[in-house]
Amino acid sequence: MTNATAMTTAANDQDNAYVHQLDRRYVFHSWSQQGSLDPMVIAGAEGCRVWDFAGRTYLDFSSQLVNTNIGHQHPRVVSAIQAQAARLCTISPAHANLARGEAAKRIVAKAGAGFSKVFFTNAGADANENAIRMARLYTGRTKVLSAYRSYHGNTGAAISATGDWRRVPNEYASGHVHFFNPYLYRSEFWARNEDEECERALAHLRRVIECEGANAVAAILLETIPGTAGILLPPKAYLQGVRQLADEFGIVLILDEVMAGFGRTGRWFAFEHYQVVPDLIVFAKGVNSGYVPAGGVVIADAISRYFDDHLFVGGLTYSGHPLAMAAIVATLDAMEEEGVVENAARVGNGPLAEGLKQLTEQHALIGEWRGVGVFHALELVSDPVRKIPLPGSEVLTLKQLLMDEGLLVFTVENRLHIVPPCVVTPAEVQEGLEILDRVLTRYAATR
């Protein structure tokens, strides 16, 4: 029985009501006021589509939380998880297991020269935690510099390193300092072009390092392309400049590729676009599309060698969990053999980018479009001249209108993030663009 057949067979409105009732009675949701929630019910998924028990289908241009890079229910990944479950469901991370070794081997190969080891975690947040720990142990310093426009996860050091509003009620970890990263559309540096934005942002970062005491700074932690903060593509030379500052002051450069990595930008890693190599690479999400939770840190050789005779004081019960590792192996092999990363580049930089550019030219609500691969954002404004952000209440209304038309997008503040799976087809892109055009047109007429 195919997923589509199962969907039809199981479809009835009562199942939606029952699942919704279960959720609201027993489930506590993240980042939410619990009493106002009305969660959408999902019964199944396949490729770039999800559906409920009533048979209503949606084109998933959110990739859920920007993680289903290989699409939903890829048969090779599902089969690999099933086979691993029959062989070995779990084992202590102190033991060697085949799936973990094969997963690490593949990730190191994608990372390129200069990397030889992977430390596995359960997700992106604890991957950032352990990257910070490694940098502090390696340098003997304590401070971590990160951007105001960033999100690194919701655990102690990761949320303190985060720049957005969620940091403020959760600042329990110490040693975190923030700086402004480039964002030309809303420049903090009065820049008129990308070159000025880059030069001034680097000068600002240098001053922060100097004022905080360079010999106290263990790491600079940056999302290669900030995702939740707005898919902020850095100026071409910015990351190279950050790399030079890190080298000058003996600081570890950590690039957070949790959202941008493993095909999302049309490359295996987003840093490949910028000809820069970090000391630590943080990953999660797309490495196995979240089929089983997994994350990790890819470690540069110099740092890895340091821990040959220095104790690494970190560990997790489920580091390298066999089911997650089998999912990684199958995901990376399928992506390689099926040209999934190439598809993300071809479709994302072709019909998707071209269509979003046209929408931007046609709709005054869109102040700016930016993106690469299948990683795009539409910044919505109520006044395009003064760049006044569209109120969040209106963005939520637009999100609901898009859902009513059968399209799921990822929304943050005044933005629509257009982030379909890396397997999206030109026909699916066209379908999604047509829905966006209809909804934006209809909504603008009512304002």
Q: Which of 259, 191, 245, 238 is nearest to 217 (CA)?
A: 245
From edge to edge, which strands make up the β-sheet containing 295-300? Answer: 115-121, 295-300, 280-283, 252-256, 217-223, 143-147, 176-179
For residue 415, list its beta bridge partners: 379, 412
pLDDT, position 5: 47
CA dihedral 225, 228, 231, 236 (to 10 degrees): -30
Which residues lie closer than 8 Å to 312 by C-beta, 6 or more apart?
A: 134, 137
pLDDT, position 447: 83
CA dihedral 401, 407, 408, 411 (to 10 degrees): -50
- d(CA 136, CA 142) in angstroms, rounded, equals 6
Question: Domain 3-73+340-446 adopts which CATH fold?
Answer: Aspartate Aminotransferase, domain 1 (3.90.1150)
How do the domains of the chain map onto residue ranges?
3-73+340-446, 75-338
Q: Tokens standing for 213?
A: 């005491």
pLDDT, position 298: 98
Tens digit of pLDDT at every position of the chain (447 positions): 455 444 444 446 679 999 999 999 999 999 999 999 999 999 999 999 999 999 999 999 999 999 999 999 999 999 999 999 999 999 999 999 999 999 999 999 999 999 999 999 999 999 999 999 999 999 999 999 999 999 999 999 999 999 999 999 999 999 999 999 999 999 999 999 999 999 999 999 999 999 999 999 999 999 999 999 999 999 999 999 999 999 999 999 999 999 999 999 999 999 999 999 999 999 999 999 999 999 999 999 999 999 999 999 999 999 999 999 999 999 999 999 999 999 999 999 999 999 999 999 999 999 999 999 999 999 999 999 999 999 999 999 999 999 999 999 999 999 999 999 999 999 999 999 999 999 999 999 998
For 49, phi then psi, to 5°, come to -130, 150
pLDDT, position 270: 98
pLDDT, position 2: 55
Pairing of strands 176-179, 143-147: parallel
In CATH, the number for domain 75-338 is 3.40.640.10
Q: How far is CA 390 from CA 151, 282, 366, 368, in A?
A: 21, 33, 9, 12
pLDDT, position 427: 98
pLDDT, position 8: 45
pLDDT, position 14: 73
